Amino acid sequence: MFRTAFFIVSICCCSFYWCHGCLEEERTLLLQIKDSISYPGGSSLDEYWVGKNCCQWYRVDCNPSSSRVISIKLGSIREERLGLWYPNTSLFAAFKELEKLYLWGNHIGGWVMPQAFSEMQSLRELHLSSNNLSVSIDSLRCICELTTLRVLNLDMNRLNDHTIPKCLGNLSLLEELSLSGNELKGNLPGLCELRNIRELNLDFNNLDGRAVPPCLSNLSKLETLSLSGNDLGSYSSALTGICELTALRGLYLSENRLDDRGIPKCMGNLSLLEELYLLGNELKSPFSSLTGFCELRNLQNLNVANNSYVGSIPQCFGNMNSLRELHISYNQFTGANPSSIFQNLTNLMIISASDNQFNDSISFSTFANLSKLVHIDLSDNVRLEVEMEHPHWVPTFQLQSLFLSNCILNRRGGSGIPTFISTQQSLETLDLSHSFLKGTIPSWLLNNLTVSSLILGGNSLKGTFPQSTRRNNSMLNEFDVSDNFIYGELPSNIDTLFPNLIVFNMSKNKLQGTIPASISKLQTLRMLDLAENNLFGEMPHGLTRNNTSLEYLRLSNNKLQGNILSKFSNMTELVVLLLDSNGFTGTIASNILSSPSLKILDLSKNHLSGFIPSWLPLLMNLAILHLDWNFFNGPIPSEFCQMQNLHILDLSNNKISGSIPSCLPNISSWMKEISIDVDVLSEQVYLRVLYSLNSSYYVDVFHTRVTTILTTKGMTLTYEGLPLSLMTIIDFSMNQLTGNIPSQMGHLKALHSLNLSNNILSGPIPESFQNLESIESLDLSHNKIVGTIPPQMVQLYKLSAFNVSSNNLSGAIPNEKQFLTFNESSYTANPHLCGPPLQRSCSCNNSSQPRDNKGEEEEEDDSTILDSPLFFYLWVAIAYILGFWGFIALFANKNWRWKFFSTVDRCFDCSYLNLHMFGLYLKNFCCN
Ligand SMILES: *[C@@H]1O[C@H](CO)[C@@H](O)[C@H](O)[C@H]1NC(C)=O
Ligand SMILES: *[C@@H]1O[C@H](CO)[C@@H](O)[C@H](O)[C@H]1NC(C)=O
Ligand SMILES: *[C@@H]1O[C@H](CO)[C@@H](O)[C@H](O)[C@H]1NC(C)=O
Ligand SMILES: *[C@@H]1O[C@H](CO)[C@@H](O)[C@H](O)[C@H]1NC(C)=O
Ligand SMILES: *[C@@H]1O[C@H](CO)[C@@H](O)[C@H](O)[C@H]1NC(C)=O
Ligand SMILES: *[C@@H]1O[C@H](CO)[C@@H](O)[C@H](O)[C@H]1NC(C)=O
């Protein structure tokens, strides 16, 4: 009875559940696959693949009528720590109706029973990107048995000409083949036999011209051909066959070192072409390689950014009626009135023409009828006058982003903020920085628009802080009015006016009053820069409170007072803290230890006192530490030797005593070159990467050359040297240090500048200084150093500033190589030094025993030495700050927001792959 009931229930279940669920045999196979993925000792699918109905399992799909599994999508499921995976091909072959198999990102090194591929007679799509299929030469041999395959993806497997299967031509039904990010070089076997191929992706290999064999023209169905990031430019005739691919709709040839000769004249044949990418090549002549494109009447997207085009945009561009996107940034286009060309291109959505040398004037009225425009970027055309008021016009478009920084705006119309912007209700990003704007910030900018990023820095805008009547300007994330003439106080209700600020930069204005306490209520604030104003009073305690998101805080050059940090301060996210040139008093509070990520700390030019805290090295990441121009006393704590990332240590102009710790050479960043990596706002850094993919621009200001200000006595020199991320400096000058210079300091091979001047140091110049191979500036003047200048120091070929004046040195001055470039002032007031450039000659008699009276004469020279221009005080103050905001201005504010969305749109279907491609792209780009 019980058994019968069970039987009936089973039948019901079979008809309503089991039989429409999944086949037991396939369920068993899936579980075997799962075990194999997890072997040995992983468990990634355990929580998902439970229950009887495997058709409902995560990443499994069945055919509803047969209940058989048709797709298994197991991308990135095998954990790396488990080592390479060798899946048993028979397990997959046993699924009779399997059409799609995704196994990307699984560390597959080959197959067990690869001959079973021949049994997979329904498979249409196979994704194997980001595996380790190059580890064995055979891992792909049997793949050619998959004769039903339509889509094959083998991206990023480090495949080379030997490990790529020779038999790919057998896959005669293949429609999409992707081999990007491998290490392929020469011609690809069987390529021309793929008669059904529609999409071929060979991006980011090492292919030279031979990879595009003449027979490629057989592929009459080819619609998309991607060859970006190769070396096609090495054969100027590489692309001649391309013109016969008349079905092509997308052609991607970026980053190939192609020059004008590499672009075939017959490109006009590709009459269906919609997208053409040639960014990052070496194209120069608009006439030879651009005019041909005018014949491409279906072209919607032309990208020739980052080439070397010189001259004007061909007039025939005005006939490309289908054009939606035109990317010509980063060239040297010049010429007259480019806007008239665009006048009739009513499909244009995007004009990206930044970083050129347009030098005439353009009037926005010519864009008036381009109703689909959403993005205009004309920034960094420093001689381009952009006229927006005259003649009168009414826009038919609604922009999302407008970038006009570093142009000359509205010069004839009074240089005011362009009024047409008030009609742009969809505007999200507006960058008008450094564009000679005058006048006040109109109230509609904050009240009538919904911009999220508003950048007006580096103009001559006047008036009080812009009034906002709108209570809750919640769209504004980024507000930069730095380097203008804004005066008055910051609004006391800034938190209700702009509740979602992330970046707030009002530096270099004429702000007065105190920092409003309400600024601490900006929960999302990550960067605050109020430097170079006339703010006074204490820092609001709440600003540094628990749960603050601040990563970058700069209040330098104001009149702030009181303690540096309140006793409640707890800035766990802080990376950069710049409070120099204020009136802060007291000691350095240990609350600063709550910022473990701190990399740059500048407290110089305040009235701080007490010992230099020996616990500072607990800030493991500290790379730049400025405590100069304060009243610190006591010794240099030997604990400082633990700061392995320290690049710049400036303790000058204090009352520090004791000797120089001999353990300083333990600091590795002074021994070998290591770059500082400061990524405040990591998301923006991420977006910058996205941005780089689209436009091929990856310029990181922290790694570009930064101007360092070297202040010598009475005169400021700018030093265009290393990027700040590589700069290394020790400055202990103007203290009361005693004892010998530790000879271990000679191990600081990566040190660029050492200043020990104006102390009471004695003993000799260590001979080991001959090993300071990176040293550019060495100042030991005004001490009590004795002995000779070690002659081996002539090897220091980078040394360009050297000062040992006012010591007790003796003997002959080395007189070769670098040392020939130093003049008398480097050596004066050393009674026993002799030889050129000093007047005193080193005769046998007086070289070791110089006359005393001569010495006294030199002594008298002392006061004039102080005025000599080569008396170095070296400090870095403004440089990295400029550099940092440069970074923000360039990337955060440039097209990235817009680019991000367009990139995401384009790539939503292959996000995993793209993430990898970004990495790869960056790698490629950076390594070149
Ligand atoms: C591979 O799977 C098949 C089918 O389950 C099985 O018969 C065979 O023993 C497996 N091979 C290995 C080497 O595990
Ligand atoms: C597998 O490939 C990844 C990425 O290319 C690589 O980092 C890893 O070392 C490879 N593993 C083996 C065992 O070759
Ligand atoms: C734009 O179109 C108008 C009317 O068709 C024509 O008169 C004018 O010359 C065109 N302008 C350009 C720059 O092609
Ligand atoms: C801004 O909005 C106010 C109120 O909605 C309106 O009266 C004013 O004309 C607008 N200003 C501009 C310049 O559009
Ligand atoms: C600082 O803030 C963090 C998290 O915001 C918290 O976990 C920690 O306890 C705080 N420390 C102090 C000393 O208040
Ligand atoms: C900061 O947070 C910690 C723990 O979260 C708490 O104990 C402490 O009281 C908070 N301090 C302030 C000033 O809110």
What is the full DSSP assignment across 348-379? --EEE--SS---SEEEGGGGTT-TT--EEE--
Predicted pLDDT of residue 597: 87
Residue of 582, 611, 576 lying closest to 595 (CA atoms): 576
Number of neighbouring beta carbons within 10 Å of residue 220? 12
Phi/psi region, residue 483 (left: phi>0; alpha: psi -120 to 50; beta: rest), is: left
In this structure, which residue's CA is closest to atom 11 in ligand 5?
570
Residue of 626, 646, 641, 619 lying closest to 728 (CA atoms): 646
Query: What one-character-per-residue DSSP string does 52-89 give?
Result: S-GGGSTTEEE-TTT--EEEEE-TT-S-GGG--B--BH
By most ligand atoms within 8 Å of CB, the mutation choice from 546, 567, 568, 571 for ligand 6 is 546
Q: Distance (Å, rounded) from C-alpha 859 to C-alpha 534?
A: 44
Instruction: Pick the more confident residue, 527 or 903.
Output: 527
> Could you tell me if 575 and 550 are in contact, meaning their C-beta atoms sit under 8 angstroms apart?
no
Residue whose pair of structure tokens reads 């700040």 in the numeric block: 724
Confidence band for 45, pLDDT divided at 50, 70 and 90: confident
Cβ of 907 closer than 6 Å to ligand 1, yes or no, is no
Cβ of 237 closer than 6 Å to ligand 3, yes or no, is no
Q: Distance (Å, rounded) from C-alpha 393 to C-alpha 389?
A: 8
In this structure, which residue's CA is closest to atom 7 in ligand 1?
90
Confidence band for 725, pLDDT divided at 50, 70 and 90: low
**Highest mean pLDDT (candidates 41-45, 149-153, 924-928):** 149-153
- State in Å: Cα 340 to ligand 3 middle: 9
Which atom of ligand 1 is found nearest the CA of 32? 5
- State in Å: Cα 838 to ligand 4 middle: 75
Predicted pLDDT of residue 337: 60
- State in Å: Cα 132 to ligand 2 middle: 6
Residue of 127, 206, 200 lying closest to 160 (CA atoms): 206
Q: Distance (Å, rounded) from C-alpha 660 to C-alpha 590?
A: 24
Which atom of ligand 6 is found nearest the CA of 545? 13
Cβ of 572 closer than 6 Å to ligand 5, yes or no, is yes
Number of neighbouring beta carbons within 10 Å of residue 215? 12
- State in Å: Cα 569 to ligand 5 middle: 9
126-to-105, 448, 759 alpha-carbon distances in Å: 13, 52, 72
Domain boundaries, the chain: 621-851, 864-927
Instruction: Pick the more confident residue, 356 or 678.
Output: 356
Cβ of 866 closer than 6 Å to ligand 2, yes or no, is no
Q: Which bound ligand lies closest to the C-alpha atom of 570?
A: 5
User: What's the average model confidence in pLDDT over 873-901?
Assistant: 30
Q: Residue 314 CA to chain centroid, in angstroms?
A: 33
Q: What is the pLDDT of residues 603-618, one digit of tens each?
A: 999 999 999 999 998 9
Of 201-215, 340-354, 700-714, the one with minimum mean pLDDT is 700-714
What lies within 8 Å, CB to CB, of 722 at 6+ separation is 705, 706, 752
Q: Distance (Å, rounded) from C-alpha 542 to C-alpha 548?
A: 9
Q: Which residues line ligand 6 (CB under 6 A)?
A: 546, 568, 570
Question: Residue 594: is its pLDDT beyond 80?
Answer: yes
> Could you tell me if 237 and 210 are in contact, meaning their C-beta atoms sit under 8 angstroms apart?
no
Question: Residue 244: is its pLDDT beyond 50?
Answer: yes
Question: Residue 873: is its pLDDT beyond 50?
Answer: no
Question: Residue 717: is its pLDDT beyond 70?
Answer: no
Of 565-569, 751-755, 884-888, the one with minimum mean pLDDT is 884-888
> Could you tell me if 453 and 428 are in contact, meaning their C-beta atoms sit under 8 angstroms apart?
yes
Of 240-254, 531-545, 875-889, the one with minimum mean pLDDT is 875-889
Q: Which bound ligand lies closest to the C-alpha atom of 541?
A: 6
Q: What is the pLDDT of residues 435-445, one digit of tens each?
A: 999 999 998 99
- The CATH number, out of the four listed (3.40.1190.20, 3.30.420.40, 3.30.565.10, 3.80.10.10), of the domain defined by the range 621-851: 3.80.10.10
In this structure, which residue's CA is closest to atom 11 in ligand 1?
88
Cβ of 398 closer than 6 Å to ligand 5, yes or no, is no
Residue of 791, 790, 798, 811 lying closest to 772 (CA atoms): 798
Of 40-49, 280-289, 752-761, the one with minimum mean pLDDT is 40-49
Question: Residue 509: is its pLDDT beyond 90?
Answer: yes
Confidence band for 676, pLDDT divided at 50, 70 and 90: low
Cβ of 318 closer than 6 Å to ligand 3, yes or no, is yes
Q: Which bound ligand lies closest to the C-alpha atom of 547?
A: 5
Q: What is the 3-state secondary structure (H, E, C) of 682-733?
A: HHHHHHHHHHHHHHCCCCCHHHCEEEEEEEECCEEEEEEEEEHHHCCEEECC
Predicted pLDDT of residue 872: 25
Q: Which bound ligand lies closest to the C-alpha atom of 112?
A: 1
Which atom of ligand 6 is found nearest the CA of 546? 1
In this structure, which residue's CA is closest to atom 4 in ligand 3?
344
> Could you tell me if 728 and 647 are in contact, meaning their C-beta atoms sit under 8 angstroms apart?
yes
Predicted pLDDT of residue 238: 77
Indicate the DSSP class of residue 282: -
Q: Which bound ligand lies closest to the C-alpha atom of 572?
A: 5
pTM above 0.85, yes or no: no
Confidence band for 575, pLDDT divided at 50, 70 and 90: confident
**The residue count for the chain:** 928
DSSP 3-state of 331: coil
Query: What percentage of the chain has pLDDT greater than the value 90?
Result: 49
What lies within 8 Å, CB to CB, of 832 at 6+ separation is 808, 809, 810, 811, 848, 850, 855
Q: What is the pLDDT of residues 316-374, one digit of tens each?
A: 899 999 999 999 999 999 986 666 788 889 999 999 999 999 988 888 998 999 999 99
Q: What is the pLDDT of residues 125-174, one digit of tens each?
A: 999 999 999 988 777 888 989 999 999 999 999 999 888 888 889 999 99
Cβ of 444 closer than 6 Å to ligand 4, yes or no, is yes
- State in Å: Cα 422 to ligand 3 middle: 29
Cβ of 920 closer than 6 Å to ligand 2, yes or no, is no
Burial category of 193 from C-beta neighbours within 10 Å (exposed 0-12, middle 13-18, buried 19 and up)? middle
Instruction: Pick the more confident residue, 637 or 905.
Output: 637
Cα atoms in the 13 Å half-sphere on the side-chain side of 888: 25
Confidence band for 723, pLDDT divided at 50, 70 and 90: low
DSSP-assigned beta bridge partners for residue 376: 351, 402
Cβ of 132 closer than 6 Å to ligand 2, yes or no, is yes
**How high does pLDDT run on average in the chain?**
81
Q: Which bound ligand lies closest to the C-alpha atom of 548?
A: 5
Residue of 158, 117, 119 lying closest to 141 (CA atoms): 117
Helix (H) or strand (E) holding 495: helix 494-497
Predicted pLDDT of residue 591: 84
Query: What percentage of the chain has pLDDT greater than the value 70?
Result: 82
In this structure, which residue's CA is closest to atom 3 in ligand 3?
344
